[in-house]
Structure 1
Amino acid sequence: MAARNTSAIQVSDRWVVAVTIGVLLASTTLLPLTQDSGYLILSSVLVIILGAVTFVLRRFRIGDVPILGFQFLTLAGFSFAASLGMEAGEGNPLTRYVRLFSEATDHMQMQPAPMEPHPGVRLLFVTAIGLIMILTDVMVQGIDRPMWSIAPLASLFLVPALTPRVDVPWWCFVAIAVGYLGILLAEGINTSERWPRGVRRSQHDRGSTPLAVRMAAVVGIPAIVLTLALGMVIPTLTSQGWGITRPTGADGPLQMADPTLDLRRNLNQPQDRVVMTYTTDQADGAYLRMASLPVFNATGWQNAGMQLTTGTDLPPAPGHRAQPGEIIRNTTIQVADFRSEYLPLPYAPDSFSGEGQWAYDRDSLVVLATGENRADAIRDLQYSVRSVDIKPDGPGLSRALAAGNPPDAQLTVPMPQDLPDDIVNLTVQLTQGIESPALKAAAIQNYLRNEGGYTYSTEPLPGSGYEALQNFLFRDKKGYCEQFAGAMATMARVAGIPSRVAVGFLPGERKGEHWEVSIRDMHAWPELWFEGYGWVRFEPTPSIASPPAWTVVSGTSEEAAEGPSEAPAPTETVAPQEEPTPTAEATPEVGAGIDNEGFPWGRVLGVALGTAVLAGLGALPMLLRSRRRGRRLDGHGPPTAQVENAWAEVRDSVIDFGGHWPAGSPRVIGSQIAHDLDGPSAKAVTVLSLMVERARYAKQHTINADLAAITHQVRRGLSERSQRPDRIAATWWPRSFWHNLGQRVLRA
């Protein structure tokens, strides 16, 4: 029998190489999500290390479960080592490690794509890619389903593909496709080499690799090209969320950004900066409104689809009846380094002029960019706005009805049926005995600003949707403008008042002849509907801005209202109190500790290497035992030696699984071992014992059975009869290894 070439490429070698290349290509598909491409360096190192570990373990023919354990151990060690080189505050290394993942979640919730660099996000991406590597290997080699490997690989592609406002470039799909085709190519080569084993090759047969490559080229490349072509031809889907359409203009559906993400991010900027300046012909400044959130459900307040109309002349404000002497405001705005597709405008805008392509929604009077590079449409833009200041008089507003007939009533009137009872009960308690809708709204605003004990804070709090609203109203009692505005708009609907949440900027600070608006002036406030006035602004957030004069009830402790207070009730007015200007709580500088040039590669690689060395030492008995089993059953040598090697392997296996090797002849030993085994395993050990007797006492001996198969059947029987601790010990800490080592030491 010819000796086997152990240096030849094995089936598992091709699998490991194909999976490694496939995951490396797939990892690039996360680039549209972040501005930090440095995660690719760490993840590539991790994927290559995982590939090397898998390559070695597969060569030793170790079981799938131990290999999976080593892969996860390598992933955990590398991920922890990488965290040591990232800035994560004080505490022990394990606490900082966990904190990085928590901060990554908060960062992703507040950042639109592409996100700014953050150490936690980098660590999360690297760990996720390592997990994809392990799952892909399980699909390909663990359960022998290479075609299923598309599932973990495609999961990396689906993350940016399903993220709002992320335009996934064509090469992301190509990267996934090429990686997957590589795995299928390896499958084709492995299959074609296994199939003709033992069959004489034709002189015209040049091997399996060229055939597999030609098949991949003929089938795979056209499939990729066809898919890309169809992606350009098939129309974009026009649905977003649950039954809400995307804003539609002349050129088809547009994907709107979530303004609340910008709000959270900008309020937590480590440094305040001026993002726009404006001049106006009025004495006071103006709220600069950008977006409107009319939809309220269990997930919170959110955007709705809009039917956009191209143009710069807007219709009159919905529901507002023009009055003699209305204030017409003219404003010129200069935006600095600030990106958005929403155009900041005083409410209610009548017309505007500026460069770019714009369209508006008739119901909300929100103006959106519709041209190319929409996300940066307002950066460095200068434009002029003509608007009507809607400033109701207090007595008139107190007599107005909150008729449920705004043009978008299907969105701004319904109250969710699953709204928690405690929120409903609180609203009823605050508005009980009050008939006027405006006075109900004023009572809710006064409770949130003064009587409820709420404080302003930009610190991120847990929960979302109803849970976050309940935590804010009844437990934490602190939050920023989004919580205050959302809470008042919710309770207004319970009180029967149509409501929505507006997002934009506070008026800013006056500097001589102009006003300066900073990044931390971004703000959210509720808008409530009243007959004859349309949408009216309220201000429930304390410590941020003074409430409008028409929302202040005489006799309440309120801050200085905008303009002269015209209270609807004739009681004595308490003198207003001036409050200090709030300062948003600073957060650690984004991206700290992840500069590529200053990254402590030596420390990280040292810890990773130390972890790998410790893992290798712990696995050394298993590796050596597996290697010895492979050599015993490799089919080399004379028949008598092969039989004795198989018998020795059975003996060591009995010891590994916690048993004792009986005394006596091979037939007696085989009978005793077979007594506790299942039928196939008992038959296998009996056959092997008879073969041992013939090999020892017969003059001539031939092998007419598969010794490797017989031995593995015996091992399966021993494993099935053993307890779980014995099975684990047999794999990771084999007793026969130490038994044989002790005998060698004694003989020496």
Structure 2
Amino acid sequence: MTGHARISIAAWGATVLGSLVLTPVFSGPFLFISAFLCALITGIGVLLQNLRTPRVIVPIVQLVALVELLSLFFLHGTMKFGVLPWRATAVEFNSRMVDAMDSINRFSAPLPQDSHLTLFAVTVIAVTGLLIHVVAVQLRQAAWSGLLLLIMYTVPAATVHGGLPWLLFIPPAVGYILLLSAEGRSRLSRWGRRISGVSHLDAAEPVEASALGQAGRRIGLTVVAIAALLPALLPSLPEGVIGNGLAGGGTGPGIGASISSTDPMLDMGKNLKQGENVVALTYKGGPSGGSYMRLTALDLFDGNTWRIAPRPEGQKITGDLNPPPGYTGDLSTVQQDSMQVDVSRSFRSQFVPVPYPLHSISLKKDWRYDPNSLDVVSANGSIIAGKKYDLTSYDLQPTPDQLHESVTTAAPDAYTMTVPKSTPLDIKQKTNEITAPAAGNKFEMAVLIQNWFRSIGGFTYSTANAKGSGMSALEDFLLKNKEGYCEQFSTGMALMARLVGIPSRVGIGFLPGQAGKDGVYTVRMHDMHAWPELYFQGIGWVRFEPTPSARVASTPNWTVAATGDPTSPTTAPTNAPATPGSTNTPGIDKPRHDPNLPDQSGAPVVGSGNWFTNGGGQVLAGVFGALLVLSIPWLMRMLTRRRRFLRPPGRTAAEGLWSEVRDTSRDLGLDWSEVSTPRQTGQWLVSKLPADTHTAARRLARGIEALRYAEGTNPELDLRPEAAAVRKALWAQAPARRKWRARLLPPSWRWYVRRGTTEASDLLDDFDLLLARLRTRLLPTRRPHTN
């Protein structure tokens, strides 16, 4: 097998192994399709190289073939004559990519199995495979292809709730090592057939290290070094790369937090445990005592994550919104509350914080609402930060008797009654045990479950529990450690409600906040909260509160059991006023200070700020960093030149000055020869310099020649004046374009990069020899006797 074919196959294998990390993100047959397409593209590349096609042509043909294959697989109906991708193909491809990005922004991993998502995943993997093939085979730089594998790994690692299993790190690493090994074997094969082991030591030491063993040790050391150094050099990634693009970077005052449409639950937990407690919003009006401000509802639970179920396109806001889903009473008799909301610039979200159920809102043009959940969300990807709006909401106050008499015969949708097949039997048994006294009444069951979480079950509120809300985490929370925060309490009650036949979902939003002067409520980031919403026919979605009083002081007043169950001591609402002189309407839960969060009073209140604090400083820092990176070649050359001229006279100093003249010539575009003698190079310099510098050029060249070859030469010979004169003359007569290039990106700088690579290789050689010596001394081998 030829070397390029071996590397091509290894590149294909590395791509397939690397794409395994995407399996927790995408679903469906995307992996098999990607492997097949990459195999075809690899085969085309090997065939063209065997036909000795010019290297530049090969990736172009591969790209054309990839476009044709993607079109045949996914966009066949748009192709002209059924075989040629046409304008309609490009338009349809773009449309599907837009749909895929919208789904990625709306749903958390794992994403649903849709055709546009499959096309997106296959395209990403196939293009990555093509780039790996170009880098490893065409450019012969297999080591750099590891960056592409790293990107494929880091994105799902930072996106999937709870992180990726550590075992998924192994396939990309194995693929990368195989690719490096194939390239190393190909490079060794150019020297001919290996006769025996490779011995690097002098003949007196019978130490031999096989080529395969050397390659393995070098690759292993390199991989270990990269694994140890790369995390320290790269900035830490947020827990939701795709969705948290709205969040900006860094932390600290003025940065705030965000809620993405990808995984709102994950973002809420991150903001509670790690984020700054800055102001999220302020509002005025509404019911006395404040109002929960909901962002969205998570209604799809697959056993791993709670996320937003697939929804139709939102409806335009042209007037009053749809009536509350499931409510069959007379809405004209229900009290409506008006509110004015001012969202801080620190809170970035595509969802609009509103009370439930919403009746009307002043946001119109770029906003839509979902009729089934009454969420208000951006229609074009914009965020709510810095917006002000007015709204009205229904003040629904169902009574315990109404909820007790409600009979739910069916789920309002296809998601909120679904119980994952992976639900453990012990959770089902515990739910039946808790709800047994309700004698089959759904409302009484819900109250018993709520009370079990708040007072009877022995639960403790703490944000230290970061295990998430997947099935295994819920089982551990419900039956073992019983320690968590609102994520675990809300999802735990929602799952138990479904087990007893009550449709449920999880609301994400904010607690009412802190009352201030003139009836203005201030809501901070640490007021973020999750709660279960249970569906009762004729009444609709009703909020419950299982989170203990360490976080939420009381439960809604409608969650008092109609039977007056004496085992429910914490269901009675508190009537303690929120602030001196004010009253608290029953049913509004006021948050207490969370001992696991930073001091609420010490958090800064972020205003609108100025240009510098609102992003200008980050722009300046980015520009400064870019200029600093671009100046590295110039800085290296300047420091090197300064060091060479500051050395005291001697052989080392003279060689440094000769190297400086060489580097200056290369920087200015002159063809300096490495194989010429100093005398020949001096003659060449004379031909390039004006007449008044010929003497200095000859003296410099003869001085180098004498120091290298002549005996009795003064070792303290000072050639700095001659070198400075030659360099100045070379610089003076160069064109302006060459001078600017020599300043900004001197070509000689690349020589130092190659030298650094060579020195790194020498270090690997020394390491390899050390291992070989140790092996020989610890495990001596017997040599056969010869007669």
Deviation at 1:70, TM superposition (A): 1.0
Q: Pick one of 429, 432, 452 that aligns with 2:433.
A: 429
Can you list the C-alpha shifts for 1:464-508, whole angstroms capped at 9, x where unaligned?
621011011011211111110111111111111111111111111
> Residue 457 of structure 1 aligns to which amino acid in structure 2?
S
Inter-partner Cα distance in structure 2 for 1:390 and 1:68: 70
1:561 equivalent in structure 2:
573
Inter-partner Cα distance in structure 1 for 2:364 and 2:474: 40
Deviation at 1:527, TM superposition (A): 0.6
Show structure 2 runs of 5+ residues with no match.
1-134, 159-175, 199-210, 252-257, 577-587, 604-621, 633-756
Can you list the C-alpha shifts for 1:508-537, whole angstroms capped at 9, x where unaligned?
111112111111111111111112211100
Deviation at 1:55, TM superposition (A): 11
Q: TM-score, normalised by structure 2?
A: 0.48
1:403 equivalent in structure 2:
409
Tell whether the 8 Å contact from 1:288 to 1:347 is kept in structure 2 after alignment. Answer: yes
Bigger shift: residues 71-80 or 278-287: 71-80
Inter-partner Cα distance in structure 1 for 2:780 and 2:370: 74
Tell whether the 8 Å contact from 2:240 to 2:263 is kept in structure 1 after alignment. Answer: no
Inter-partner Cα distance in structure 1 for 2:495 and 2:541: 15
Deviation at 1:393, TM superposition (A): 1.3
1:326 aligns with 2:346: no
Structure 1 residues 474, 613: closer, same or farther in 2, change over 3 A? farther
Deviation at 1:663, TM superposition (A): 2.4
Tell whether the 8 Å contact from 2:464 to 2:596 is kept in structure 1 after alignment. Answer: no
1:744 equivalent in structure 2:
none
Deviation at 1:85, TM superposition (A): 7.7
Query: Which structure 2 residues correspond to residues 181-580 of structure 1 after superposition, within 5 A?
Result: 256-312=261-317, 313-323=320-330, 325-337=333-345, 338-354=347-363, 356-371=365-380, 374=381, 376-406=382-412, 408=413, 410-435=414-439, 436-462=441-467, 465-512=470-517, 513-542=519-548, 543-545=550-552, 546-553=554-561, 554=564, 555=566, 556-558=568-570, 561=573, 580=592
Inter-partner Cα distance in structure 2 for 1:510 and 1:611: 64
For the residue of structure 2 that corresponds to 1:377, the secondary structure is: coil
Inter-partner Cα distance in structure 2 for 1:72 and 1:299: 35
Inter-partner Cα distance in structure 1 for 2:142 and 2:589: 67
For the residue of structure 2 that corresponds to 1:354, the secondary structure is: coil
Inter-partner Cα distance in structure 2 for 1:34 and 1:277: 35
Show structure 1 runs of 5+ residues with no match.
1-11, 36-45, 88-103, 120-164, 167-254, 565-575, 590-594, 602-607, 625-651, 665-748
Deviation at 1:71, TM superposition (A): 1.9
For the residue of structure 1 that corresponds to 2:547, the secondary structure is: coil
For the residue of structure 1 that corresponds to 2:533, the secondary structure is: strand
1:582 equivalent in structure 2:
594
Inter-partner Cα distance in structure 2 for 1:377 and 1:19: 42
Inter-partner Cα distance in structure 2 for 1:55 and 1:621: 22
2:766 equivalent in structure 1:
617
Structure possessing the higher relative contact order (Cα contacts under 8 Å, 6 or more residues apart):
1
Tell whether the 8 Å contact from 2:298 to 2:306 is kept in structure 1 after alignment. Answer: yes
Deviation at 1:286, TM superposition (A): 1.1
For the residue of structure 1 that corresponds to 2:529, the secondary structure is: strand
Query: Which structure 2 residues correspond to residues 111-190 of structure 1 after superposition, within 5 A?
Result: 112-113=244-245
Inter-partner Cα distance in structure 2 for 1:71 and 1:480: 45
1:69 aligns with 2:217: yes
Structure 1 residues 318, 108: closer, same or farther in 2, change over 3 A? closer
1:145 equivalent in structure 2:
none
Inter-partner Cα distance in structure 2 for 1:580 and 1:618: 60
Q: TM-score, normalised by structure 1?
A: 0.50
Inter-partner Cα distance in structure 1 for 2:218 and 2:458: 54
Deviation at 1:21, TM superposition (A): 5.3
Inter-partner Cα distance in structure 2 for 1:367 and 1:422: 38
> Residue 321 of structure 1 aligns to which amino acid in structure 2?
T
Tell whether the 8 Å contact from 1:350 to 1:385 is kept in structure 2 after alignment. Answer: yes
Inter-partner Cα distance in structure 2 for 1:488 and 1:341: 27
Tell whether the 8 Å contact from 1:489 to 1:526 is kept in structure 2 after alignment. Answer: yes
Inter-partner Cα distance in structure 2 for 1:500 and 1:577: 19
> Residue 379 of structure 2 aligns to which amino acid in structure 1?
T
> Residue 293 of structure 1 aligns to which amino acid in structure 2?
L
Deviation at 1:259, TM superposition (A): 1.2
> Residue 512 of structure 2 aligns to which amino acid in structure 1?
P
Tell whether the 8 Å contact from 1:390 to 1:536 is kept in structure 2 after alignment. Answer: no
Tell whether the 8 Å contact from 2:316 to 2:367 is kept in structure 1 after alignment. Answer: yes
Structure 1 residues 319, 425: closer, same or farther in 2, change over 3 A? same
Inter-partner Cα distance in structure 2 for 1:82 and 1:398: 59
Inter-partner Cα distance in structure 2 for 1:16 and 1:64: 24
For the residue of structure 1 that corresponds to 2:522, the secondary structure is: strand
Inter-partner Cα distance in structure 2 for 1:297 and 1:32: 22
> Residue 375 of structure 2 aligns to which amino acid in structure 1?
V
Inter-partner Cα distance in structure 2 for 1:530 and 1:13: 61
Tell whether the 8 Å contact from 1:459 to 1:585 is kept in structure 2 after alignment. Answer: no
Structure 1 residues 270, 621: closer, same or farther in 2, change over 3 A? closer
Deviation at 1:578, TM superposition (A): 9.7
1:18 aligns with 2:141: yes
Structure 1 residues 526, 621: closer, same or farther in 2, change over 3 A? closer
Structure 1 residues 271, 396: closer, same or farther in 2, change over 3 A? same
Tell whether the 8 Å contact from 1:33 to 1:113 is kept in structure 2 after alignment. Answer: no
Inter-partner Cα distance in structure 2 for 1:581 and 1:24: 45
Inter-partner Cα distance in structure 1 for 2:324 and 2:415: 17
Inter-partner Cα distance in structure 1 for 2:483 and 2:242: 18
Inter-partner Cα distance in structure 2 for 1:340 and 1:499: 24
Query: Which structure 2 residues correspond to residues 617-696 of structure 1 after superposition, within 5 A?
Result: 617-620=766-769, 658-664=781-787
Structure 1 residues 270, 612: closer, same or farther in 2, change over 3 A? farther
For the residue of structure 1 that corresponds to 2:492, the secondary structure is: helix
For the residue of structure 2 that corresponds to 1:504, the secondary structure is: strand
Structure 1 residues 311, 438: closer, same or farther in 2, change over 3 A? same
Can you list the C-alpha shifts for 1:178-230, whole angstroms capped at 9, x where unaligned?
xxxxxxxxxxxxxxxxxxxxxxxxxxxxxxxxxxxxxxxxxxxxxxxxxxxxx
Tell whether the 8 Å contact from 1:267 to 1:584 is kept in structure 2 after alignment. Answer: no
For the residue of structure 1 that corresponds to 2:282, the secondary structure is: strand
Inter-partner Cα distance in structure 2 for 1:528 and 1:441: 8
Deviation at 1:271, TM superposition (A): 2.5
For the residue of structure 1 that corresponds to 2:339, the secondary structure is: strand
For the residue of structure 2 that corresponds to 1:432, the secondary structure is: helix
Structure 1 residues 270, 498: closer, same or farther in 2, change over 3 A? closer
Inter-partner Cα distance in structure 1 for 2:147 and 2:231: 21
Q: Percent of pairs identical after alignment?
A: 30
Tell whether the 8 Å contact from 2:304 to 2:469 is kept in structure 1 after alignment. Answer: yes
When the two chains are superposed, the root-mean-square deviation of aligned CA atoms in Å is: 4.8
Can you list the C-alpha shifts for 1:555-591, whole angstroms capped at 9, x where unaligned?
4332762669xxxxxxxxxxx999842244469x9xx
